[in-house]
Structure 1
Amino acid sequence: MLGASHPLTEFEWSIVKRHSACTPLAQLEIEWLRKQGIPSSALAHPDLLLRADVHFRALRFAYPDEIEPDAEMERALILLVRDADGHPHDLAAWAPRSRRLATWCGRAVCIGNAMGPRLNEHGALPVYPSPLEWLQEGCDGIVIIDPVAASHELFDLGPIAAMGGAEHARELKALFEGLAPCIIAGTVLTSAI
């Protein structure tokens, strides 16, 4: 994904190294994901889906070497999150059993590329309610991790397609409620009207 013109920064390398240190999926995990309707291609593209035991704390997660030894751990799938230019940006952990979703660094507000191609006839950005649906659809569109931050990043990108049905659409509508551009009345603008 990265061109030769962009050497990785030290921070980007730390993300890649941490992702690479995670464990490959076990055959039973791959079979479970396939039974959920996830295509094989989504397990390795855009990046390899890996696993790790992590500790969730709100919208963030930590690895065992970053926390107290007696902290509660949960098995999660680890996704490398890239920015709009394809550079490593953060890691996301998704625990299918508890449906928890969080980031390692707190930088990513969603999984997927919000600036990527619009995939429906209305030019809308597909937003999925969880990584399961996103993976089932071959990683097209996004999954929101941090609703508050995402609402500010996404509100002016154009139409959004709630891919999780009517309830998901209501949740997204509530998320964007009250957001509008800041409008300032100035003497020049007022006199021109």
Structure 2
Amino acid sequence: MTPSYIAGAFHRHTPLRSSDLVDLVGREASAFRIYKQTKAVPAGEIVWLTPGRFEFAAWASDLDRGQGAERALLFLVRNEAGEAVDIAAWQPATGRTATWLGQAWALGQDTIYLARMHEDDVLPIRRDVLAWLEAGQRGLVLLDHRRAALRLADAGPLEAEDWQHRHELLKALTRPTPRILIGNTRNEGRAA
């Protein structure tokens, strides 16, 4: 899909009203806290698909739609060149996140290579979408840990929110070692 098609799908949805957010969150105090950060963020009816993916309810198959649609906040995800690559959905009451096309690996991924003024400047990784919103959308929220590990390998130093979050990130961003064979030993032990 082209960046303009993705952006068009995103912009079809209208910005949130505070009353919408109370319905999404289910708690007025939390809704107000989120609304302060999301005034221009649209919401849409989505259907959760496989882990990490969603479809817009209007475009979902009857089978998918049968699982029930939910309202979620929508975020346009751009690449480093500023092109729209995906749309992410977040359901504040459950904390659940997903992407429409499976192309986005993080909210804020377009900022990973922005110039940092000092060698020790860090790239903040937020634990969840609310923390990212409260930080003015500065930093990243990881959506796909496997792909994030590849992209963040040379983007450090990274900043976790606390020690527990640091531990979670180390676990999530550690890639498995590939299987390594030695020369002709692959065929050893097989009958000729």
| Range into which the TM-score falls when normalised by the shorter chain | 0.7 to 0.9
CA separation of 1:147 and 1:170: change in aligned 2, threshold 3 A: same
* Contact persistence 1:38–1:137 (CA under 8 A): no
How has the CA–CA distance of structure 1 residues 91 and 60 changed in structure 2, closer, same or farther, with 3 Å as cutoff? same
Partner of 2:164: 167
Task: Out of 101-110 and 29-38, give the one that drifted further.
Answer: 29-38
3-state SS, counterpart of residue 170 of structure 1 = helix
* Structure number with larger C-alpha Rg: 2
Deviation at 1:43, TM superposition (A): 3.7
Structure 1 residues 61 and 37 mapped into 2: Cα distance closer, same or farther (>3 Å)?
A: closer
Alignment map for 1:49-88 (pairs within 5 Å) = 49-57=41-49, 58-64=51-57, 65-68=59-62, 69-88=65-84
Partner of 1:100: 96
1:119 and 1:72, CA in 2 relative to 1: closer, same or farther beyond 3 A?
A: farther
Matched position secondary structure for 1:18: helix
Distance 1:119 1:167 in 2: 28
Give me the whole-angstrom Cα distance separating, in 2, the residues matched to 1:117 and 1:34: 34
Instruction: Report the Cα distance in structure 2 between the residues aligned to 1:118 and 1:43, rounded to whole angstroms.
Output: 28
1:33 and 1:123 map into 2 onto residues whose CA distance is 31
Structure 1 residue 115, shift from structure 2 partner: 2.0
Unmatched runs of 5 consecutive residues or more in structure 2:
23-27, 178-192
Amino acid at match of 1:54: I
Deviation at 1:76, TM superposition (A): 0.5
Aligned partners of 2:18 and 2:32 also within 8 Å: no
Q: Which secondary structure state, in structure 2, belongs to the residue aligned with residue 139 of structure 1?
A: coil
Q: TM-score, normalised by structure 2?
A: 0.76
| Cα deviation 1:94-120 (Å, max 9, x = unaligned) | 001111111101101000022235599
Q: 1-side partners of 2:6 and 2:102: how far apart?
A: 12
| Residues 119/56 of structure 1: CA separation in 2 closer, same or farther (3 Å cut) | farther
Q: Offset of 1:177 from its aligned partner?
A: 2.8
The alpha-carbon distance between structure 1 residues 149 and 79, as it changes in their structure 2 partners (threshold 3 A), is: same
Counterpart CA distance in 1 for 2:128 and 2:155 is 20
Whole-angstrom CA distance in 2 between matches of 1:23 and 1:149: 30
Q: Secondary structure at the match of 1:101?
A: strand
Q: String of CA shifts for 1:6-33, please: whole Å, max 9, x gaps.
A: xxxx611211111111232123228867
**1:1-193 superposed matches below 5 A:** 11-28=2-19, 29=21, 35-36=32-33, 39-40=36-37, 43-44=39-40, 49-57=41-49, 58-64=51-57, 65-68=59-62, 69-112=65-108, 113-118=111-116, 122-163=120-161, 165-178=162-175
The superposition leaves residues 70-94 of structure 1 with CA deviations (integer Å, 9 ceiling, x where unpaired) of 2222210000111111111110000
Tell me if the contact between 2:160 and 2:166 (Cα under 8 Å) persists in the aligned partners: yes
Q: Secondary structure at the match of 1:151?
A: helix
Residues 119/127 of structure 1: CA separation in 2 closer, same or farther (3 Å cut): farther
Secondary structure at 2:101 match in 1: coil
